[in-house]
Amino acid sequence: MWRSGWRTSGVLRRLSGRSASLGAWRWASTTACERALLRYRVGEKIHGFTVSQVTSVPELTLTAVKLSHDGTGAQHLHLAREDRNNLFSVQFRTAPADSSGAPHVLEHTVLCGSQRYPCRDPFFKMLNRSLSTFMNAFTASDYTLYPFSTQNPKDFQNLLSVYLDAAFFPCLRELDFCQEGWRLEHEDPSDPQTPLVFKGVVFNEMKGAFTDNERIFSQHVQSRLLPDHTYSVVSGGDPLCIPDLTWEQLRQFHATHYHPSNARFFTYGNFPLEQHLKQIHEEALSKFQRIKPRTAVPAQKPWDKPREFQVTCAPDSLAAGSSEQTTISVSFLLPDITDTFEAFTLNLLSSLLISGPNSPFYKALIESGLGTDFSPDVGYNGCTRDAYFSVGLQGIAEKDIQTVRDLVDRTLDDIIEKGFEDDRIEALLHKIEIQMKHQSVSFGLALTSYIASCWNHDGDPVELLKLGSQVARFRKCLEENPKFLQEKVKQYFKNNQHKLTLSMKPDDKYSEKQMQLETEKLKQKVNSLSPEDKQQIYEKGLELQAQQSQPQDASCLPALKVSDIEPRIPFTEVEVALAAGDTPVQYCTQPTNGVIYFRAFSSLNTLPEELRPYVPLFCNVLTKLGCGGLDYRELAQQVDLKTGGLAAAPHVLPDDSHLDTYEQGVLFSSFCLDRNLPDMMHLWSEIFNNPCFEEEEHFRVLVKMTAQELSNGVPDAGHLYASIRAGRMLAPAGDLQETFGGMDQVRLMKSVAEMTDIKPILRKLPRIKKHLLNCDNFRCSVNATPQQMSQVENSVDSFLRTLSRSKKERKPVPPHVVEVRLCPLPARRARKPSESKPCSLAFDPVLPCSHLSLAVKSPDWRATWAGDAAASELEASRRCTLTLIKPAPKGPGRHSLVTRKLVMDPTFKPCPMKTHFLFPFPVNYVAECIRTAPYAAPAHASLKILARLMTAKFLHTEIREKGGAYGGGARLSYGGIFTLYSYRDPHSTETLQSFLKAIDWAKSGRFTQQDINEAKLSVFAAVDAPVAPSDKGLDCFLYGLSDEVKQAHREQLFAIRHEDLVDVSNRYLGAGRSTHGVAVLGPDNASIAKDPSWVIR
């Protein structure tokens, strides 16, 4: 995977690492780090390594152990921390001299087989033989990184063995280079009469990458600001230069760069360091001698005067205003990133300059109305040896370029004169404090990426981690010199002659010109071929095709067994109480390290249909327009000072039992330090009761930024947009998902951003507020430590008592609403499975049950709730197993019921739909969705295993290896939509044919028990990915999904047999069995255009 300038904005975001699937337990991290602090001594010899430093980093609750390998000089950093999710990475400094993509193609090719593991594609095969929580590889501008993480010690050793052998002893076969990098091959490899074309995974990946105008601009900024060495080229490869790379050059690049003397090893977590060092030494480093790598990147020579350039890109059909698509930025060269305190200071200074509506550049540029958003890559970039800072605007008229340049200069002058408000500096330091306490869900991965660039240039990674001491030093500098930051602005911006002004404007013929350049490159290559060369290409194409089609023996690879998977899930204790009368609040006691996490869910059932498309916009602006006595700037300041952020987002939550039933609403979320809880809840109270919808000019600014962000996101997420559209007509929830997060939303925001009079849209916000921001159909959840719960209960109760309530019950807009009342676990006690039993219950409309009720507003609908594995699709959609739970003991404020009001449509009939969204992309994003079975249906478990099986054993070969797409596979959603997809794919209709072949393959049962076991391992790796304390109990809160239901699903996964997979393949996936939907995002396609069954958009 190529990541140009692999960066995230600043210290804060880089260490937050907030994914929902991985976990880190900072609260108990005394054992591993204390052990390391007591165990290791400087000078100690361990398995060929010598300890050079042992340092406690209390702010991150870890101990850093630095070592060097005696024989090769390889560096190793171990961060001991009580985290079960252990991580390994190895990185090499890879500084290419041209844009042929050598480091990127090499990153792909080393993973295609090695001396010890010579089978084809061991990397992808290990995805199915492991319980890894993360596996990948990344090519940055000047280094290549290979990380993995897992919670299982045996799995860690297995993966480490594969990674070490891949990195240091790869096969680097010519055919693998041709498949992964590039090759000349006939369009139909078996027909030499078809024309020769360029193929290759990296070739197509980079063609897709440079459909993104933001990426094009960022690459030009880096290349032109740092022109003297490796940063002037594209490390991932320019599609027009990749065909210049030869197999021999690739092998030579590996020989000179992938040596232990040029390597940096990183391990993290609570597994013993000694075992890691022993394995690394014995399996890899002991077989090498020390060399002096010649890979250092020299410093950029400073300019004596500023420079400016203009480049072009393709027009953005989704951007607002076709005449206002110019981008401009002003960039400044900054010091070497190995000066860790100077880098820390400039990172904070960058945040003060650009972050939020109180920052000077936001006021001067964003609020000028000249553009739609900041220019790409805005702010501090510390991913190159010499850092740089960029600021500018996108979405401007070409005539305003000079105006923007003048605004940048004037703003810098104002900052030098006036400085920054103390509260803004305090808010920024508060962000660092709360992010250090926040339970990152993939902390090891966040750390290895955070230190990678500095360490790559021989900076001290441990100093980089000492955020507490850096904050203290920063405060001291401010105390000693109140103009400390102003002097930095003057030094690095005002008086800096190494200043680049880059503008980029759209060219209507840009895509056509790029295609013409590729055509000329191809013609040049083909014309240089002799008849013998062409025959050899034909034969090599046949050989590659035969290799790709040949069954692979992966028995040489290490693997876990299904028996290594834990048979039971750890149960999460939750408690529900009624607050402020009748609002249920779920409390989940967790080790949150002094941070309190608050969420609330409000139903959208009463919202008029014409307002639904505007809910995402409402959510986006709600916390940014001001409230109560605070204008939008003051609100932003309070949010930064008192919280880790306030957010609102629309959610469509499928039911676990019925394909045609779902819950719709908005999820509000925030977190704060315990001392700031009253302030955070007061902010929510003001936002709910007194939101400000009068700031028309700022609303217009937010609309433009939202539209720009959506437009910019399409090239990177095209497969997701295709999947949403393909599933639109398969279930009632599909249309709402398209409205909230599909191409319909992208196009709606484009039209809103283009409106000259935005008042009609602004007037919709108070109408949405009336239906949403009240206690009707409202529930809350809190995750906090036991010591915090009393304070939390009081604060949440006070907040809820401030909220308005409807004087009379509003009728839901959807005609059919199902009330499902769920029993939580008994208070403060984890219930054992034996305390509940399945029961078959029949419900009449609006007939409550004492512990579980189904109130149905449709008089002719009946449901029988019972499990039946042999049920038909129609019957399965009406039947499921529910667990009747004993009511929780009722005490003061305690209650046993939580109600979810689900929307259903008994008259809904799924229908097939095929949509082609035309984009000037050189690649496609393809999705086919199939209506199958919901989570609680027994078939769902079989379909989940089948999706992984089809991905690993058929689609990967057909779509990526043979087809040349960057990615592809199958997945099953919680709501029962089975999706086949491809990403950055040179094909479209051919890929749809591959989907059909995949279904035929599944129906035929051409897979083994070993294949099934590997698919189970892969599925359980996702199912068992650790969850952060902040997210514990979230499935229960949002979906009503109990641990008992999860355990039952787990047991279904374990029990899947070969015949079950063949059965669901035939029952759901075959033509005419279930309804299919198809969508393609990509260039014009003649065969699709001729087919009247397609809708062209």
Residues 784-800 pLDDT 10s: 999 999 999 999 999 99
Please give the sequence-ordered ranges of beta strands (E in DSSP) within 127-210, or none if there are none.
Answer: 134-135, 138-139, 143-150, 183-186, 196-199
Question: How many C-beta neighbours within 10 Å does residue 59 have?
Answer: 17
Question: In 967-1010, where do the E strands start and end?
Answer: 967-972, 977-985
Compute the distance between CA of residue 485 and CA of residue 489 in angstroms, rounded to an integer.
Answer: 6
DSSP secondary structure string for all residues of 723-751 = HHHHTTTTSHHHHHHHHHHSHHHHHHHHH
Encoded tokens for 239: 């599609």
Which residue's structure tokens are 């001594």?
A: 41
With the C-alpha atoms ordered 520, 525, 526, 528, is the resulting torsion angle positive or negative?
A: positive
Strands 595-603, 134-135: pairing is: unpaired
For residues 399 and 524, give the distance between their C-alpha atoms in angstroms, rounded to a whole number. 40
Least confident interval from 306-315, 621-630, 828-837: 828-837
The residue among 19 and 177 whose pLDDT is bigger is 177
Q: Is 396 helix (H, G, I), strand (E, B) or coil?
A: strand
Task: Report whether 1027 contacts 441 (CB < 8 A).
Answer: yes
User: Residue 94 has which token pair?
Assistant: 């890879």
Q: What is the total residue count of the chain?
A: 1097
Q: For residue 845, what pLDDT is reported?
A: 24
Q: 365 Cβ partners below 8 Å, 6+ apart?
A: 371, 374, 391, 392, 393, 404, 407, 408, 411
Average the pLDDT over 907-933 and give the result. Answer: 94
- Residue 505's pLDDT is what? 96
Q: Quick check: helix, strand or coil at residue 905?
A: coil
| Predicted pLDDT at 251 | 98
Strands 977-985 and 967-972: antiparallel
Which stretch of DSSP H or E encloses residue 783? strand 778-784
Q: Does pLDDT of 27 surpass 70?
A: no
Work out the end-to-end distance of the chain between its first and last CA atoms, rounded to an integer number of angstroms: 31
Residue 817 confidence class, pLDDT cut points 50, 70, 90 = confident
Res. 240: pLDDT tops 70? yes
CA–chain centroid gap for 977, Å, is 21
What DSSP assignment string belongs to 914-959? EEEEE---SSEEEEEEEE---TTSHHHHHHHHHHHHHIIIIIIIII
Q: Average pLDDT of 459-469?
A: 96
Contact 27, 592 (CB under 8 A): yes
Residue type, 690: N
Q: What is the pLDDT of residue 439?
A: 79
| Sequence-distant (≥ 6) Cβ neighbours of residue 1076 within 8 angstroms | 912, 928, 929, 930, 931
Contact 109, 146 (CB under 8 A): no
- For 237, phi then psi, to 5°, come to 105, 125
Which of 130, 90, 439 minimizes the C-alpha distance to 261? Answer: 90
Q: In the numeric block, which tokens belong to residue 98?
A: 């041209």
pLDDT at 304 over 50: yes
CB atoms near residue 585 (< 10 Å) = 26
- Sorted by sequence, the CB contacts under 8 Å of residue 467 that are 6+ apart come out as 11, 15, 59, 60, 344, 432, 436
What local confidence, expressed as pLDDT, does residue 808 receive?
A: 65
pLDDT above 60: residue 79: yes
Q: Answer whether 822's CB lies under 8 Å from 897's CB.
A: yes
What pLDDT is attached to residue 7? Answer: 46
Q: What is the pLDDT confidence band of residue 754, given thresholds at 50, 70 and 90? A: very high
613 close to 738: Cβ distance less than 8 angstroms: no
- The residues that bridge with 903 in the sheet, in sequence order, are 662, 817
70-108 burial string, b = 16+ CB within 10 Å, else e? Answer: ebbbbbbbbbbbbbbbbbbbbbbbbbbebbbbbbbbbbb
Kindly report the number of other CB atoms within 10 A of residue 1089's CB atom.
12
Distance CA 134, CA 158 (A): 14
- Cα-based distances in Å from 101 to 106, 241, 298: 8, 8, 20
Active-site positions read: 107, 180
Name the residue type at position 13. R
What Cα–Cα distance (Å) separates residue 893 from each residue in 581, 746, 887, 1035?
Answer: 8, 45, 14, 24
- In the chain, what is the greatest distance between 2 CA atoms, to the nearest angstrom? 89
Tokens (6 digits) for 676: 């700031």
Residues forming beta bridges with residue 134, ordered by sequence position: 149
Q: Does residue 302 contact residue 418 with C-beta atoms inside 8 Å? A: no
User: HEC string of 657-682?
Assistant: CCCCEEEEEEEEEEEEEHHHHHHHHH
3-state SS record for 197-258 = EEECHHHHHHHHHCCCHHHHHHHHHHHHHCCCCHHHCCCCCCCCCHHHCCHHHHHHHHHHHC
Per-residue model confidence as pLDDT tens digits over 1041-1077: 999 999 999 999 999 999 999 999 999 998 778 899 9
Is 734 exposed, middle or buried (CB count within 10 Å of its CB: 0-12, 13-18, 19+)? Answer: buried
Q: Beta strand 575-579 with 373-374: parallel, antiparallel or unpaired? A: unpaired
Residue 357: which of 647, 691, 636, 642 has the closest Cα? 636
The pLDDT value recorded for residue 321 is 66
Tell me the mean pLDDT in the region 323-341: 96
Share of the chain above pLDDT 70, in %: 90
pLDDT at residue 815 in the model? 65
Q: How far is residue 151's CA from residue 84's CA, in Å, rounded to a whole number?
A: 5
Q: How confident is the model at residue 30 (pLDDT cuts 50, 70, 90)?
A: low
Q: Position 63: which residue type?
A: T
Ramachandran region, residue 241 (left: φ > 0; alpha: ψ -120 to 50; beta: rest)? alpha
Mean pLDDT of the chain: 89
The predicted-structure confidence for 885-909, as pLDDT tens digits, reads as follows 323 333 333 334 578 899 988 888 9
Each residue's pLDDT tens digit, 86-144? 999 999 999 999 999 999 999 999 999 999 999 988 999 999 999 999 999 999 999 99
Nearest to 485 by CA among 474, 497, 498: 474
244, with CB counted inside 10 A (0-12, 13-18, 19+), is middle
| pLDDT number for residue 881 | 25
At 854, the amino acid letter reads: L
Distances (CA, A) of 586 to 262, 581, 778, 897, 1033: 52, 15, 12, 11, 9
Which residues, 6+ apart, have CB-to-CB distance to 892 below 8 Å? none
pLDDT exceeds cutoff 80 at 390: yes
Whether 456 has a pLDDT exceeding 70, the answer reads: yes
Helix (H) or strand (E) holding 1076: strand 1076-1082
**Distances from the Cα of 212 to the Cαs of 200, 226, 331, in angstroms?**
20, 22, 20
Average of pLDDT values for 172-195?
96
Question: Can you point out the beta strands (E) in 837-935?
Answer: 837-838, 841-843, 854-856, 863-865, 883-884, 898-904, 913-918, 924-931
| C-alpha distances in Å from residue 958, one per residue of 893, 990, 996, 1001 | 59, 10, 11, 12
